[in-house]
Amino acid sequence: MWLPWALLLLCVPGSLSLHGPSTVTGTVGGSLSVQCRYQEGYKPFAKYWCRQPCLPFFSETVETSASEGEVRRGRVSITDHPGNLTFTVTLENLTANDAGKYRCGISTMLVEEGLSGLLPEPFSQVQVFVSPASSSKSSSRTPGPPSQDPGSLLSSVHFLLLIFLKVPLFLSMLSAVLWVNRPQRAIYGQA
């Protein structure tokens, strides 16, 4: 009875089958590497990296196969290291547009060597931050993860206010107006 729940757990981000960092930070013009670790049973399967949402035909996916140790697509390369059960993704010549949510995962859809595709497809979500390149005039601060964009913070707070405060308040006021203006049925006695 618990087996379907256990298989579902293996498919969720950050599952036990695949581990990757939750956040990585790079600098504009520089490069960064992400290392994802997988379990022995996933050794023969293709490993991939894509920007979320990872939709077929709409997102650029870089994927390995059992016969290729390293695959490069533009500024992104992915290398499988089956000896230590890891694969490494490297993003080069970073731009501010590279910031966002990505997924490192294992594809069990493309089955090789007669393996059945019964294993779940694990993945790990990785948030990529790209900080501006430091100029020679700037102070010698140790770069860290950039602070959250105030615009996105404002929009998320506004969204929460909209959902939990404004919409219920609007619906309450609309209900009150409709209640007050409802048709009144007067019963008049006939003499």
Cβ pair 138, 32 in contact under 8 A: no
**pLDDT attached to residue 137:** 43
Please report, in tens digits, the pLDDT of each residue of the chain (191 residues total): 444 444 344 344 444 688 899 999 999 999 999 999 999 888 888 899 999 888 777 677 888 876 567 889 999 999 999 889 999 999 999 999 999 999 999 887 644 455 545 566 889 999 999 999 876 444 444 444 444 444 444 445 554 545 666 767 778 887 888 888 888 766 665 55
**pLDDT attached to residue 14:** 41
Positions of E strands within the chain: 18-19, 23-27, 32-38, 46-51, 61-63, 70-73, 76-81, 86-91, 100-107, 123-131
- Give CA–CA dist 113/115, Å, rounded: 6
- Give CA–CA dist 122/12, Å, rounded: 7
pLDDT in tens, 136-156: 444 444 444 444 444 444 445
List residues bridging with 142 in a β-sheet: none
- Give CA–CA dist 17/38, Å, rounded: 6
**pLDDT attached to residue 53:** 85
Cβ pair 181, 166 in contact under 8 A: no
Strands 61-63 vs 123-131: parallel, antiparallel or unpaired: unpaired
